[in-house]
Amino acid sequence: MSRMRMMPAINSALIEEMDRDKKVILYGEDAGISLLGQTTGLQERFGKDRVRDTPICENIMTGMAVGAAAAGYRPICHLLYGNFIYTGFDSIANQAAKLKYMTGGQITLPIVYMAVIGGGRSAAAQHSDTPYPALMNLGGIKVVVPSSARSAKGLLKAAIRDDNPVFYLTAGSSGKPEEVPDDDFILPIGKAEILREGNDITIVAIGPMVLKAVEASLVLEKIGIHAEVIDLLSLLPIDEETIINSVKKTGRLVIVDEARDVCSAASHIAAIAADKAFNSLKSPVKRVTVDNLAIPYSPILEDQVIPNVENIVNTVRELI
Amino acid sequence: MSRMRMMPAINSALIEEMDRDKKVILYGEDAGISLLGQTTGLQERFGKDRVRDTPICENIMTGMAVGAAAAGYRPICHLLYGNFIYTGFDSIANQAAKLKYMTGGQITLPIVYMAVIGGGRSAAAQHSDTPYPALMNLGGIKVVVPSSARSAKGLLKAAIRDDNPVFYLTAGSSGKPEEVPDDDFILPIGKAEILREGNDITIVAIGPMVLKAVEASLVLEKIGIHAEVIDLLSLLPIDEETIINSVKKTGRLVIVDEARDVCSAASHIAAIAADKAFNSLKSPVKRVTVDNLAIPYSPILEDQVIPNVENIVNTVRELI
Amino acid sequence: MNVNKHNTLDNLSDEKLVELYKKMLLIRKCEEHLSSATKEGAFPGAVHLYIGQEAIAVSMCDHLTEDDWISSTHRGHGHFIAKGGDVNTMMAEIYGKATGICNGKGGSMHVADFKKGIMGANGVVGGGMGLAIGAALAASMDKKNKVSVVFFGDGAANQGVLMEAMNVSSLWKLPLIFVCENNQYSEFTHTSEVTSGKIVDRAKPFGIPTLEVDGNNFIEMWQASAQAVLRARNNQGPTFIEAHTYRQRGHVEFEYSFLSRTYRDQDEVNKWLANDKDPLLRFEQYLFDNSIIDNQKTEALNNEVDSVVKESVSFAVNSPLPDLSSAFNNMIA
Amino acid sequence: MNVNKHNTLDNLSDEKLVELYKKMLLIRKCEEHLSSATKEGAFPGAVHLYIGQEAIAVSMCDHLTEDDWISSTHRGHGHFIAKGGDVNTMMAEIYGKATGICNGKGGSMHVADFKKGIMGANGVVGGGMGLAIGAALAASMDKKNKVSVVFFGDGAANQGVLMEAMNVSSLWKLPLIFVCENNQYSEFTHTSEVTSGKIVDRAKPFGIPTLEVDGNNFIEMWQASAQAVLRARNNQGPTFIEAHTYRQRGHVEFEYSFLSRTYRDQDEVNKWLANDKDPLLRFEQYLFDNSIIDNQKTEALNNEVDSVVKESVSFAVNSPLPDLSSAFNNMIA
Ligand SMILES: Cc1ncc(C[n+]2csc(CCOP(=O)(O)OP(=O)(O)O)c2C)c(N)n1
Ligand SMILES: Cc1ncc(C[n+]2csc(CCOP(=O)(O)OP(=O)(O)O)c2C)c(N)n1
Ligand SMILES: [Mg+2]
Ligand SMILES: [Mg+2]
């Protein structure tokens, strides 16, 4: 165990995996110096051949990953911010998500695309999106969203070893230091974690929203409401079993998602519950999400539109 | 009234609106000759200035619409197939969807992006996607999906007159001839239509799935199940009221959507019901959608993965 | 860069030359079959035929082995065959059968055989660019002198991703060959109407050596390919070839079933069908002139190829449809 | 195309020259304020400063009116001010206030004023390209001799969308001016490390006339701008200007609070801060040499500009925060 924040945890996962497997390569804009800290020191350690600074050209970056993966490598394509996923979306949606299926399974595509997502940093509309809904709908892509330094490490190692294209999306800020296992620590993709047990209501939260959900559960506890908090971790495949079992126990569900509401992961989880846990539901399924807007710049406005602890608490109280 | 199929109906809407308003311009690859028939004859009628053949360059095409709209025009950007929306996704997601909001409402962006969607034509993975979920999540874009020649005309005219970016997505095949009003016929964006009334279950269907839902309702009628069939028409804004009122009446809901299931319009509608019509629901909310895959080529496989009448009937029968 | 113009192929044996001719003939005859079969509704999807461009794929691929990579376009049957793809499984794929190279999941626009270095036809114009760059990156890291070739159209040359690919490949000296097959049309628009300047010139500012060739002249195209492949194998970086050619058929076969008007003169088309323009007839003439084939040999070759095509069609026709459950194979796992 | 080098600006009145100098000074001083204010945490977001590039925006925008369009980059304050944007509302925007030009919704990376033809700073590298082409298309259809200018960086020149924009603008003879501000860096990477060849050359194959200028030389840049704008107004189509300059500050202000190491030598930076390199000092010297300003005048101008900046800051500081409900304005409707 070491105490570290999220970016160093990501960095350690990258180092361990690149040490382990020579076929893992990484590239991105300023990957060498590392704008956000995930890739710091990698170029010095693994050389400019395996860790490449690219020009600014997201279209070829995302497509190149597909070609390199088909030709035997395990590329990690670093896209900086979630919004630039849109810039390179063509090859993600039309090639990475489809090539295996449409060629009858001739290849596997062990690709990791990484980026940071979400607001809260006054980075405004074009640097604050939470774009996973678009990715989740593509059909041929896995999506993971770690919530902590520990899960960031465990899921990244799993993503790198996965034979499918995986989007690896984390919050832009590095969070608090916490204990992260040193050794070969893998969190399986597709498995959610129950962070707090409770019998009154299930709160499913994603990535940056997990901490807020936990905080909300502490507030709720004080007024006698025992919430079960699920850290979803993987958005696709989604751990339906953990969600459904929890809802069967609690009978109530609130989903907290920093994505815009329409066709969000929250919508999808609500749909799963309304289908597969229907008979256990005692009250409406609620979503705490972002409205049909872009993330504004001014902190006071950003705070208005991004779900906060109070929103979660109030939503739960509406139901109980 | 005239009898016409969908493509001619679209064509007539374009002619009427371009006649009416000189600021309406249209461009796309082969817009002059028209691959799919929507724009046939427009270049001859309105000239090469207002109806332009573009090079193949979806990135600039989608972005150019934003600039031209901000500068006072009402551009219609024809993107051929839904999959090429991904190719031009950057400006759609980062500019069209955000520019009004992030500049504090300085401008309106009266843009229509059009494309055909869906499978059923053995056009395979890269020409058969139903990409509206990604668009619906962008926050600053309207999405309409007509289901018939009549709604194709009425919604296109509304889309052209709308001051927001609107995605106008229709099936690739032109359907059967039907009666279409000749005069200035507008269908308001955001309004669903109840095609068949019924008390036992609500079936919400989108675009190419509407006809199948109607057919399914006829089959169900024979066994005494009276389904209410809703043609959603607009996906964003979504007509929550019509859906909720119907579910309040029937107590049951099935959504039929040709998009892949995860984060689909179907998921979102299920989520709305699980929230706002929860107390009326008598059974699980079911989705009839496409799995996590790309649309395959062979018709026999395509038929397996795209929802059909039998799937709808069986799903309804599971519930009643 | 200039093509080393010998105007002969005397470094190739007669057998080899005949084999290359046969490959062109095989592409031609496969496509001709598909043309007539599509009108009969013999298979489900649409086909974009390579007729008139055969010299390009065949001459380039003659310099490649199965370890090298190619990526192709929606007009991809010719590249598939030229790179050694199996005609039976290609035909079965187009017929949507279980025995198809993609098990009936891909169809005409996605015929691929990664084991043979064929990264596939591609339905997205410009979509092969990323695949080819990625394979070239892999090749350069493998250090085994493998090369990667991206075939793309004149229309595709207007996609920005080309510029990104040129910049990256030149920067990293990737063993990549750009082959722009300028067949003069982007769907139904003469490409000159949507293209500024000359395509081949676009590579120059990136420091990429360029070759502009008559793509219907097998010899010229073969020699240009030899040069480009040599550069790539010797780690000298990318080369850009613009091969002028002509799309003899419609953009998509049977297009007048839906187009409302014509878009080019039949005279223009006829000019390109003539002996002095058609790449197959021109290569045939060369072989005649050099006494490598004669009428008898040609007839024999035609018969041979006819039976290969016939066999592939009967393989396709007689193959079973895909198992229904296979629709749910090959998903992410 | 060559810049018509007169090495003088004698077609401009002294007052006009002083006004232009003042505009450069205003940009410089606004940015210097933002630099120190960001370290104090005076406003919420990050800022990318234009210091060292002022001559480019000011000289180009001198040829434009409010009817003309510009689109800009993440480094957009200079363009905003040069095109006539209001400093108070810009400052308030960066401070996240209700009185900001975007009501506090956009911040530094999105300062825009469409009424003045400022389509805004843009957080997506290459994102201004589409906006500018669209405005140029509108201008060309309006037939009122309006022009559109896209400012972009050397890093942005590697985005494929540039090629698409060059092709379309040349094809349609749009009144568009490409201004590539080559400040030598893309974030923390020297652009030469990620760029093949010379950027300006990329326009040539599209038949777009090019001008390569010392962007820190106000006169040269002003004359190049005059030529390009004239061409655009006369419906002669696009022009591509590469203006060589230097990013005196970090990519983003206060970057060593998070970067793990340096990426350029202080010597290099110092060289560009010197009298013979800095565009403001050079233009000042020119005005001195031509007796247009003297020490006294300079001091007065400095004081004047200082008070404009000061006023803008106090306007920003004293403005109210946005109304909470305004977060839900300006959505689609
Ligand atoms: C991204 C994208 N945009 C548009 C299309 C539609 N389309 C298919 S082929 C084609 C023309 C391609 O022309 P060219 O590259 O010259 O290839 P050719 O057909 O001549 O072989 C177009 C526009 C597409 N498939 N993909
Ligand atoms: C599409 C996209 N990719 C990456 C980034 C991150 N980014 C912001 S500025 C920048 C460098 C831009 O360099 P240049 O165009 O030269 O402009 P300069 O900063 O030098 O003014 C990068 C990579 C971005 N904002 N948008
Ligand atoms: Mg072509
Ligand atoms: Mg720069």
pLDDT tens-digit series, residues A118-168: 999 999 999 999 999 999 999 999 999 999 999 999 999 999 999 999 999
**Catalytic option among A78, A127, A226, A268:** A127
Does the distance separating the beta carbons of D330 and B67 come in below 8 Å?
A: no
Residues in chain A within 8 Å Cβ distance of C134: 63-71, 75
C256 and B CB contact within 8 Å: no
Q: In this predicted structure, what is the pLDDT of residue D6?
A: 62
pLDDT at C106 over 90: yes
Q: Check if A127 is active-site.
A: yes
C103 and A CB contact within 8 Å: yes
Lowest-pLDDT range of C163-177, C271-285, D5-19: D5-19
Indicate the class that CATH gives domain A193-319. Answer: alpha beta
pLDDT at B26 over 70: yes
Phi, psi (rounded to 5 degrees) for D302: -60, -45
Can you give the pTM of this predicted structure? 0.98
pLDDT at B278 over 80: yes
Residue D5 lies in a domain: no
Residues in chain A within 8 Å Cβ distance of B105: none
Question: What is the distance in angstroms between the Cα of A82 and the nearest Cα belonging to chain D?
Answer: 11
Question: What is the distance in angstroms between the Cα of A103 and the nearest Cα belonging to chain C?
Answer: 4
CA angle C271, C276, C281 (to 5 degrees): 110
pLDDT tens-digit series, residues C28-87: 999 999 999 999 999 999 999 999 999 999 999 999 999 999 999 999 999 999 999 999
pLDDT at B265 over 70: yes
Taking residues A251-255, report their average pLDDT. Answer: 98
pLDDT band at D4 (very low <50, low <70, confident <90, very high): low
pLDDT at D8 over 80: no
Edge-to-edge, what's the strand order for the sheet holding B74-81?
Answer: B51-53, B24-28, B74-81, B112-117, B166-171, B142-144, B234-236
Residue C325 lies in a domain: no
D251 in contact with ligand 2, CB cutoff 6 A: yes
- Residue A94 is given by DSSP the state I
Residue D119 lies in a domain: yes
D253 in contact with ligand 2, CB cutoff 6 A: no
Complex ipTM over 0.90: yes
Contact (Cβ atoms closer than 8 angstroms) between residue A300 and residue D107: no
Residue B311 CB partners (closer than 8 Å, separation 6+): B288
Which of C110, C261, C328 comes nearest B291 by C-beta?
C328
Among residues of chain C, what percentage have pLDDT more than 90? 96
Mean pLDDT of chain A: 97
Which residues in chain A are classed under CATH 3.40.50.970? 2-180
Residue C316 lies in a domain: no
pLDDT tens-digit series, residues D17-74: 999 999 999 999 999 999 999 999 999 999 999 999 999 999 999 999 999 999 999 9
Q: In this predicted structure, what is the pLDDT of residue A173?
A: 82
Residue C2 lies in a domain: no
Lowest-pLDDT range of B175-184, C152-161, C231-240, D175-184: B175-184
Q: In this predicted structure, what is the pLDDT of residue C9?
A: 78
pLDDT band at D210 (very low <50, low <70, confident <90, very high): very high
SS3 of residue A229 by DSSP:
strand
Among residues of chain B, what percentage have pLDDT more than 70? 100
Question: What is the distance in angstroms between the Cα of A118 and the nearest Cα belonging to chain C?
Answer: 26
Taking residues C120-124, report their average pLDDT. Answer: 98
pLDDT band at C6 (very low <50, low <70, confident <90, very high): low
Cα separation, C172 vs B300, whole angstroms: 45
Q: What is the CATH number of domain A2-180?
A: 3.40.50.970
Q: In this predicted structure, what is the pLDDT of residue A5?
A: 96
Q: Is B47 left (phi over 0), alpha (psi -120 to 50) or beta?
A: left
Name which of C190, C234, C183, C233 is nearest C73 in CA terms. C183
pLDDT tens-digit series, residues B27-85: 999 999 999 999 999 999 999 999 999 999 999 999 999 999 999 999 999 999 999 99
Which of C115, C135, C333 comes nearest A71 by C-beta?
C135
Encode burial over D106-129: b for 16+ CB neighbours within 10 A, e otherwise: bbbbbbbbbebbbbbbbbbbbbbb
Q: Is D107 left (phi over 0), alpha (psi -120 to 50) or beta?
A: left
pLDDT tens-digit series, residues C169-198: 999 999 999 999 999 999 999 999 999 999
Residue in chain C lying closest to B55 (CA): C194
CATH (domain of D27):
3.40.50.970
Name which of C48, C53, C24, C47 is nearest C184 in CA terms. C53
Q: In this predicted structure, what is the pLDDT of residue C10?
A: 73
Which atom of ligand 2 is found nearest the CA of D154? 16
Cα separation, B189 vs B66, whole angstroms: 21
Taking residues B239-250, report their average pLDDT. Answer: 98
Chain A residues within 8 Å of chain C (Cβ atoms): 25, 49-50, 52, 54-55, 57, 59-60, 62-73, 75, 90-91, 94-95, 99-107, 139-142, 163-165, 237
Residue C131 CB partners (closer than 8 Å, separation 6+): A63, A66, A67, A70, A95, C71, C119, C120, C122, C150
- Tell how far CA A55 is from the center of its chain: 26
Phi, psi (rounded to 5 degrees) for C60: -65, -50
Residue D323 lies in a domain: no
As given in the structure block, the two tokens for residue D65 are 């009116």
Beta-strand pair A112-117/C176-182? unpaired
Q: Provide the residue range defining the domain that includes D251.
A: 14-311
Which chains reach chain C with 3 or more Cβ–Cβ distances below 8 angstroms?
A, B, D
Quick one: angle between helices D14-39 and D87-94, nearest 10? 10
Residue D204 lies in a domain: yes
Beta-strand pair B286-290/B253-260? parallel
Contact (Cβ atoms closer than 8 angstroms) between residue C117 and residue C64: yes
Which residues in chain B are classed under CATH 3.40.50.920? 193-319
Residue C327 lies in a domain: no
Q: In this predicted structure, what is the pLDDT of residue A172?
A: 86
Domains contained in chain C, number: 1
Q: Whose CA is nearest to atom 6 of ligand 1?
A: C125
Task: Provide the 10 A C-beta neighbour count for residue A173.
Answer: 14
Question: Tokens 């400093």 identify what position?
Answer: D87
pLDDT at C5 over 70: no
Residues in chain C within 8 Å Cβ distance of A100: 330, 332
Mutate to test the pocket of ligand 2, among D186, D199, D245 (most ligand atoms within 8 A of CB): D186
pLDDT tens-digit series, residues A194-230: 999 999 999 999 999 999 999 999 999 999 999 999 9
pLDDT band at D5 (very low <50, low <70, confident <90, very high): low
pLDDT band at B9 (very low <50, low <70, confident <90, very high): very high
* Amino acid making up residue D52: G
Which chains reach chain A with 3 or more Cβ–Cβ distances below 8 angstroms?
B, C, D
SS3 of residue C276 by DSSP:
coil
Contact (Cβ atoms closer than 8 angstroms) between residue C191 and residue C263: no
SS3 of residue C33 by DSSP:
helix
Q: In this predicted structure, what is the pLDDT of residue D62?
A: 98
